[in-house]
C-alpha cells in the first residue's frame, strides 16, 4: 500500500513538473525547480549575501528569457517582470500590493504601503500634498543641519583606518526622518539606539517570513517563534509612536494648529508630517488616532533605511571612482566656491552631475530591488498574459540591467544620465517604483533638468557636505578601502 502511495506521489510530482515546464500559456519557469516546494529551497537559509547573488542570477535569467518569468514559491506561482515596458504595464494596471507588504500589516495597518486599495486611494490623495515642493522646502533647514552633523561625526573617523560608514548614514537618516515625521529631535541617545534596533529587527522578521513559504500561512505563523519576536518588537515600536502622538495631539488641541508650525529664521516654514496628519484628522475628520500612528510608522519605516542605504552605496561608489569624485567637486566649486553656506532649493537644480551620480548609484544598487503587486485582473503583456489572482514581482534590479543600458550595464557610469544617452523610457528611473503607486518620498526637481530625474532632497544635501569632507577632498587615489559585510554584498 505504502509503495503504491509513494509511486502515486512521485507520478503526481512528475506531472506537476511536466505541466509547469510545458505550459506554453505561462511565461518560462526559472531554473532550479523542485516538485512541491518549487524554487523555495533557493531562499531557505539564505543569508543576505546569498540573497543578493541569487537576485542577480534571476535578473539575468529573466532578461535572457525575454523579461518575464514564472517562479514557484511552494504551491504559489509568482511572476517576475524585468522588461521595462511590461513593468510599467503591470505597475499602472494593478495597484494592490502583495505578500511582503501584507506581512507588515499587523504593524503598519492602513499606512500607504499596506492598506487595501480603496483606503490607499483615499489616503494617498490626502497625503500627496505633504510631499509637495512647498511643504518639503520647509525641511531644508533640517537637512542642512543634519548634513553638518554627519560630517562632524565622520570627521572624527577620517584618516584612522577603515570604518563602517553605514552606521553613520543610518543614524543620521533615522534622526532626520524622526524629526521630519514627528517634529522631535532624538535627545536621548539610548532611545535612538532602541528604536533603531527594533526597526532592524522588524525588517529581519519580515524578510525571514518571506523566505519560508510555510510561514506565509497566517495560521502556522501564529504559532511560530518569529511571530512571538514580532509581537515583542511591535510592542516597543507602537509604544514609542503612540507616546509621541499623544503628546503632539495634546499640544495641537491646546494651542491650535499654528503653534505646530515652526518659523525658521532664514527659510520656509517647517511642519512635521505628524502635524499635517493631526490637522487633517482634527479639522477634516480624515483619520483616527490609529490611522495617524500607522501613517507615521510607515513613513519612518519607508524613509530612513532607504535614504541611509542610498547614501551608503553612493559614498562607496564615489570613493571608489576618483574621477567621479573630482567632477562632483568641480560642480560644487562652480556653485558654492569657497562658501560654507547652507544649500538652497535653487542650488539643487544646478547639481546636474551629482544627480546623475545618485541616479546611477540607485540603478546599480537599488535598495528596494523588488516591488510587489497582486494581479486583480488578467494583464496582457507584450508576449504573454499574466493571470488574475497571482503575485507579480516588479523586478527593479532586473530592469536596471536591461539591454537598454548597453553592454556595460554593470559599470558605474554617471555620464549615462547626462544629455541624450539616458534611455528614453519611463522605467529608466525605477528605483522609486513607477506609475501611480510610485514612492511618495521622492521629490521632483524642476523639469528643466537635462535628465528630468528625481533626487531625494536629503540625499543631495547630505552628499553635498560629504563631498566637502576635508580628508576625502584631498584624496585622489583609486584605492579606497571598502569594508564590506553581509549587508552590502552587492558591492562585492
Residues that bind ligand HEM (CB under 6 A): 91, 112-113, 124, 298-299, 302-303, 306-307, 310, 367-368, 371, 431-433, 437-441, 456, 459
Q: DSSP state, 286? A: -
The residue (of 422 and 442) whose beta carbon lies closer to ligand HEM is 442
Terminal Cα-to-Cα distance of the chain (whole angstroms): 53
CA–CA dist 26, 23 (Å, integer): 6
461 bridge partner residues:
none
Task: Give the residue from 393, 396, 314 showing the smallest Cα distance to 361.
Answer: 314
Q: DSSP state, 375? A: -
76-81 and 391-395: which strand pairing? parallel
Residue 82 CB, shortest distance to ligand HEM, in Å, is: 14
The residue (of 298 and 422) whose beta carbon lies closer to ligand HEM is 298
Please check whether residue 143 is in contact with residue 459, taking contact to mean a CB–CB distance below 8 angstroms. Answer: no
Residue 483 CB, shortest distance to ligand HEM, in Å, is: 22
Please check whether residue 440 is in contact with residue 131, taking contact to mean a CB–CB distance below 8 angstroms. Answer: yes
Task: Give the residue from 345, 303, 278 showing the smallest Cα distance to 439.
Answer: 303
What DSSP line would sit under 405-434, residue for residue? G-TTTTS--GGGGSGGGS-SSTTSS-TT--
Residue 8 CB, shortest distance to ligand HEM, in Å, is: 43
The residue (of 299 and 463) whose beta carbon lies closer to ligand HEM is 299
Residue ranges in 46-116 assigned as alpha helix (H): 48-64, 84-93, 100-103, 105-108
Residue 283 CB, shortest distance to ligand HEM, in Å, is: 22
Please check whether residue 449 is in contact with residue 474, taking contact to mean a CB–CB distance below 8 angstroms. Answer: no
The residue (of 326 and 436) whose beta carbon lies closer to ligand HEM is 436
The residue (of 384 and 463) whose beta carbon lies closer to ligand HEM is 463
The residue (of 26 and 391) whose beta carbon lies closer to ligand HEM is 391
- Residue 217 labeled ligand binder: no
C-alpha cell at 256: 491650535
Residue 253 CB, shortest distance to ligand HEM, in Å, is: 25
Please check whether residue 113 is in contact with residue 298, taking contact to mean a CB–CB distance below 8 angstroms. Answer: yes
Residue 396 CB, shortest distance to ligand HEM, in Å, is: 6
Binding residues for heme: 439
Residue stretches of the annotated binding site: 439
Amino acid at each position: 500500500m505504502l509503495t503504491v502511495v509513494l509511486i502515486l506521489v512521485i507520478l503526481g510530482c512528475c506531472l506537476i513538473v511536466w505541466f509547469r515546464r510545458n505550459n506554453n500559456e505561462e511565461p518560462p519557469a526559472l531554473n532550479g525547480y523542485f516538485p512541491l516546494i518549487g524554487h523555495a529551497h533557493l531562499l531557505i537559509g539564505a543569508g543576505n549575501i546569498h540573497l543578493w547573488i541569487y537576485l542577480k542570477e534571476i535578473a539575468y535569467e529573466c532578461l535572457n528569457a525575454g523579461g518575464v518569468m514564472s517562479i514557484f514559491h511552494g504551491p504559489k506561482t509568482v511572476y517576475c517582470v524585468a522588461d521595462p515596458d511590461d513593468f510599467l504595464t503591470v505597475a499602472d494596471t494593478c495597484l494592490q500590493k502583495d505578500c511582503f507588504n501584507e506581512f507588515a500589516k499587523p504593524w503598519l495597518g492602513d499606512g500607504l504601503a499596506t492598506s487595501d486599495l480603496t483606503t490607499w486611494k483615499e489616503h494617498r490623495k490626502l497625503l500627496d500634498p505633504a510631499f509637495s515642493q512647498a511643504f518639503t522646502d520647509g525641511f531644508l533647514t533640517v537637512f542642512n543641519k543634519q548634513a553638518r552633523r554627519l560630517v562632524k561625526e565622520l570627521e572624527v573617523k577620517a584618516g584612522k583606518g577603515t570604518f563602517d560608514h553605514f552606521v553613520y548614514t543610518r543614524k543620521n537618516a533615522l534622526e532626520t526622518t524622526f524629526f521630519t515625521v514627528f517634529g522631535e529631535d532624538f535627545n536621548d541617545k539610548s532611545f535612538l539606539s532602541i528604536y533603531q534596533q527594533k526597526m532592524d529587527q522588524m525588517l529581519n522578521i519580515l524578510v525571514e517570513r518571506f523566505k519560508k513559504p510555510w510561514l506565509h500561512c497566517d495560521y502556522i505563523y501564529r504559532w511560530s517563534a518569529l511571530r512571538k519576536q514580532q509581537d515583542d518588537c511591535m510592542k516597543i515600536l507602537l509604544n514609542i509612536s503612540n507616546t509621541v502622538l499623544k503628546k503632539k495631539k495634546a499640544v495641537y488641541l491646546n494651542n491650535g494648529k499654528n503653534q505646530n508650525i515652526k518659523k525658521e529664521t532664514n527659510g520656509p516654514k517647517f511642519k512635521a508630517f505628524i502635524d499635517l496628519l493631526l490637522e487633517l484628522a482634527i479639522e477634516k475628520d480624515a483619520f483616527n488616532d490609529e490611522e495617524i500612528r500607522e501613517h507615521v510608522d510607515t513613513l519612518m519605516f519607508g524613509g530612513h533605511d532607504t535614504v541611509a542605504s542610498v547614501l551608503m552605496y553612493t559614498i562607496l561608489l564615489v570613493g571608489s571612482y576618483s574621477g567621479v569624485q573630482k567632477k562632483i567637486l568641480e560642480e560644487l566649486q562652480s556653485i558654492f566656491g569657497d562658501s560654507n553656506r547652507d544649500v538652497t532649493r535653487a542650488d539643487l537644480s544646478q547639481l546636474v552631475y551629482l544627480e546623475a551620480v545618485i541616479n546611477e548609484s540607485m540603478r546599480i544598487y537599488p535598495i528596494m530591488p523588488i516591488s510587489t503587486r497582486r494581479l486583480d485582473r488578467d494583464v496582457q503583456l507584450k508576449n504573454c498574459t499574466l493571470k488574475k489572482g497571482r503575485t507579480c514581482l516588479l523586478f527593479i534590479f532586473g530592469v536596471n540591467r536591461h539591454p537598454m543600458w548597453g553592454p556595460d550595464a554593470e559599470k558605474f557610469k554617471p555620464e549615462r544620465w547626462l544629455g541624450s544617452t539616458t534611455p528614453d523610457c519611463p522605467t529608466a528611473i525605477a528605483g522609486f517604483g513607477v506609475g501611480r503607486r510610485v514612492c511618495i518620498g521622492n521629490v521632483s526637481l524642476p523639469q528643466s533638468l537635462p535628465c528630468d530625474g528625481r533626487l531625494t532632497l536629503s540625499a543631495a544635501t547630505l552628499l553635498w557636505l560629504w563631498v566637502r569632507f576635508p580628508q576625502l577632498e584631498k584624496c585622489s587615489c583609486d584605492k579606497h578601502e571598502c569594508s564590506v559585510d553581509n549587508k552590502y554584498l552587492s558591492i562585492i
